Structure 1
Amino acid sequence: MGYSRYDAAARGRAAWNAGKTVGTKRPLTQKQIWAIRFFLDREGRVRDRALFDLAIDSKLRGCDLVKIKTGDLVTGPEIRTRAMVVQQKTGRPVQFELTSDVRASLLAWLERRGGSVDDHAFPSRVDHAHHMSTRQYARLVDEWVTAIGLRSSDYGTHSLRRTKAAMIYKATGNLRAIQILLGHTKIENTVRYLGVDIEDALLLAERTEI
């Protein structure tokens, strides 16, 4: 978008990232995950707990997460153990698991939410016929991390997308598996996304005996 300096309407307008920390957002630790869950449970925020849990398990981009419909998550009266969505960015399907704790929080929310399988699981606060906006989702993430004493500038919606992927990578070193789980088209994207560097590679090599 390199034309703004020639656009009279744009002169004097602050850059979108003015005053913000731009770059890779940190993933959450296990301790931070449970701190946020405790906060949301204490405040009785059933929807937010379900949204947070789904964001961690699904590893989806915010634009895909907010568009999920109830039918994507349920089969009959139960929450699916695995689900699939088509990614907006790539147009390709990606699968994800729904672990038992996450299924429980989703069930609690969807029972309260009501509606049909064709409804968005997380509706807009303005128009319930539409899904929550990515802007609203980002504001919620800022609120959650701030509530447990973290700097919102260091974390964002991509923190939730990266969290479980980073944990799996640290436990296994399997980049190909992470690529599939994140729905990346190229392994190079996964390497950059996880922030894999030479130190990571050497540590993995040192653990491998021949």
Structure 2
Amino acid sequence: MYIRPTAPIVDYRTRWSGIRRQHMVNAIPFSKAQREILRILSGKIVVGHAIYNDFKALKYFHPKALTRDTSKIPLLNRKGGFPENTSISLKRLTKELLHKDIQVGKNGHSSVEDARATMELYKVVEFLVCPGEGGLLLTEMFVYKIPIKKKLLTSPSFRWGGGTKRSSRPWGWRSALDTWGVLRPTPAREEGIQAPREIPLHIVV
């Protein structure tokens, strides 16, 4: 299925897209495709790599709280041995973290292959096992509405699994890596259980 853009096509970029002139003959008009795509995306969490490019092509901006961009998750970069604040290509991240080669075909990128690789990368950091809690899976990793480098010395609640649990003592919080990052907690005092080095969580303040 192909979509005909609103502007004239001056370069099909066939090497990367695999698209040729004949594919546009019976292509779906952009306006029709856009309506259907936005209907599908409405209210959904969207995972993508450098997904702002896709939204730009759609002439659409998805709610930030429902967007997961694997090109902007410093934890993924760190796990792959890359600088945290650098945008790394999907191909390189997939090679380092998933040990897979993608985008090597002669007919251009496969959107299905790219989408699958992106979802696999997202799953690397979506569910992390929290030491000291019986291997409990923490399912809400993204932190919102917390300014970068803001330190909290209160006892926040941790929402995980099916309920909410409040920490029993203060924690000194280092900065959130970024809007899509993971907080790195450090105990304010040494007594009690040792905090995990990284906790994926949703803070309730």
TM range (shorter): under 0.3
Q: Using CA pairs below 8 Å that are at least 6 residues apart, which structure has the higher relative contact order? A: 1
* Bigger proportion of residues as helix: 1
Structure showing greater radius of gyration is 2
**TM-score normalised by length of structure 1:** 0.21
**TM-score normalised by length of structure 2:** 0.22
